[in-house]
Amino acid sequence: MNEANSFYGSASIASLSLYTSVRHRFSFVRNLLYRCIPFVLTAPAFASGKDTSIFAPVSPSADSISSLGIFTLVLTLGIFIVVAGLLTYAIVRYRTRPGDDGSEPPQIFGSTQIELSWTIIPVLIVTVLFLATARVIFAIQDAPKPASALDVTVIGHQFWWEFRYPELNIVTANELHVPVSVAASVTPTFLKLTSADVIHSFWIPRLSGKTDLVPNRINELWMEPRETGLYEGQCAQFCGIEHAKMLLRVYVDTPEQFAAWVRQQQLPATAPATDAAIAGRRQFESQACINCHSVAGTVANGRFGPDLTHLMGRKTIASGAALNTPENLAHWIDNPDHFKTGSLMPSLHLSQSQVEQITAYLTTLN
């Protein structure tokens, strides 16, 4: 038993040593892959230019996953080169030549050396990959949660994202705001993931790994972004007809920007000031809108659709399918299929004046 423990301990140390060595030695490979073969997700035409490459991580968990991917890629590339090289050598060395009598070359049977080599080498390769992968998985899953961490609950819906900040009493949709984590203020974000209907998958390639959202189950994920900016992703699990347009955006703010965003989100809805907006609020509250949507400080308390209290504070609507402009908002209210065929928001067949009034009201919700 001790000998077995010693063997596995030595194998683990050797594999981790190899993994660490490759990680540091082949950093140039990451740069090459980042420049030459970026992995680009499906994104709307108005994408900000921030790529979604897994080879450009800005969070420790994403960096560990990316490094493991590079290590695996380099290892398998080496296997490919060896196998392709031997195959090429055999093809060239033993090709048919003029004057060959067509006889079969000498056959080798029962070579212990060859049989050991094609058994032991693959076993060692698989062992190294297994131990390196297990190390990254446990390092990410067992990461300690500091007291300064931000807690967010993510709920997947067909076909949009709901974000709840329980400690801050904030509910928003599709656009997640988190603070940047710097040496002076380490603030990782810990997310609890669940689903209101079918299985979804939360994935921001540059910030974290892919994690499923399963009904009646809580999965967990954390990220610690080191750079401010916009990071894009989407649902990575087919969840229905509009799965491809279930996009999401993560804004990594400075501590000051995040504090200002929190203060704004904690305010009640802006009261309408113009006649058109006042009429629009009456229309909004008299239609079926309030059965699905919430607006703090009003009778609207629905839970089936996104919270609209600070709708105009978001850059996009329809889970990233369109820019959040008054024109697009009017089209969305009039006919959601205009942007997102198969979305679960129904068309209420409102008149043009009703659409204009509701749009006028919603554009005041900053």
C-alpha distance from residue 314 to each of 184, 261, 309, 363 (Å): 29, 11, 11, 11
Distance CA 68, CA 223 (A): 17
The mean per-residue pLDDT over the stretch 65-87 comes to 95
Distance CA 65, CA 54 (A): 9
Q: Which of 46-55, 95-104, 126-135 has the highest mean pLDDT?
A: 126-135
**Under 8 Å CB-to-CB from 268, ≥6 apart: which residues?**
296, 297, 309
Distance CA 221, CA 209 (A): 8
Amino acid 114: pLDDT:
86
The mean per-residue pLDDT over the stretch 68-73 comes to 94
Distance CA 85, CA 33 (A): 23
Amino acid 99: pLDDT:
83
Asked whether the predicted pLDDT for residue 35 surpasses 60, the reply is no
Distance CA 228, CA 249 (A): 13
Amino acid 33: pLDDT:
46
C-alpha distance from residue 116 to each of 14, 89, 127, 130, 352 (Å): 21, 22, 16, 21, 78
Type and span of the H or E element at 242? none
Amino acid 48: pLDDT:
39
Distance CA 149, CA 366 (A): 27
Asked whether the predicted pLDDT for residue 29 surpasses 60, the reply is no
Confidence band (pLDDT; 50, 70, 90) for 278?
very high
The count of other CB atoms within 10 Å of the CB of residue 328 is 18
Secondary-structure breakdown of the chain: helix, strand, coil percentages, each rounded to the nearest 5: 40, 15, 40
Distance CA 75, CA 13 (A): 18
Distance CA 246, CA 42 (A): 10
The mean per-residue pLDDT over the stretch 133-159 comes to 94
Give the whole-number percent of the chain exceeding pLDDT 70. Answer: 86
Q: Which of 14-28, 106-120, 235-249 has the highest mean pLDDT?
A: 235-249
**Mean pLDDT estimate for the chain:** 86
Amino acid 101: pLDDT:
82
Report which of residues 46 and 116 the model is more confident about. Answer: 116
Distance CA 244, CA 41 (A): 10
Residue identified by tokens 């990680």 is 23
Asked whether the predicted pLDDT for residue 42 surpasses 70, the reply is no
Distance CA 67, CA 146 (A): 24
The DSSP string of 277-342 is HHHHHHHHHHSTHHHH-B-TTSS-B--SS---TTGGGSSEETTTTEE--HHHHHHHHH-GGGT-TT
Asked whether the predicted pLDDT for residue 12 surpasses 70, the reply is no
**Under 8 Å CB-to-CB from 277, ≥6 apart: which residues?**
360, 361, 363, 364
SS3 of 103-149 = CCCCCCCCCHHHHHHHHHHHHHHHHHHHHHHHHHHHHHHCCCCCCCC
The mean per-residue pLDDT over the stretch 37-47 comes to 37
Asked whether the predicted pLDDT for residue 4 surpasses 60, the reply is no
- pLDDT tens-digit readout, 295-320: 998 999 998 999 999 999 999 999 99
Cis bond before residue 159 (omega within 30° of 0): yes
Question: Which two tokens mark 344?
Answer: 């679960």
Do 205 and 249 touch, CB atoms closer than 8 A? no
Asked whether the predicted pLDDT for residue 3 surpasses 70, the reply is no
Amino acid 257: pLDDT:
96
- pLDDT tens-digit readout, 216-235: 999 999 999 999 999 999 99
Opening angle at CA 139, ends 135 and 143, nearest 5 = 170
The mean per-residue pLDDT over the stretch 324-339 comes to 93
Q: What is the largest CA-CA distance in the chain?
A: 99
The count of other CB atoms within 10 Å of the CB of residue 139 is 12
Across 97-111, 181-195, 202-216, 233-247, least confident range: 97-111
The mean per-residue pLDDT over the stretch 75-90 comes to 95
Domains in the chain with CATH codes: 2-93+112-141 (no CATH), 150-257 (2.60.40.420), 275-362 (2.60.40.420)
Amino acid 98: pLDDT:
86
The mean per-residue pLDDT over the stretch 340-346 comes to 89
Residue identified by tokens 């607006």 is 295
Do 154 and 161 touch, CB atoms closer than 8 A? yes
Asked whether the predicted pLDDT for residue 46 surpasses 50, the reply is no
Give the whole-number percent of the chain exceeding pLDDT 90. Answer: 71
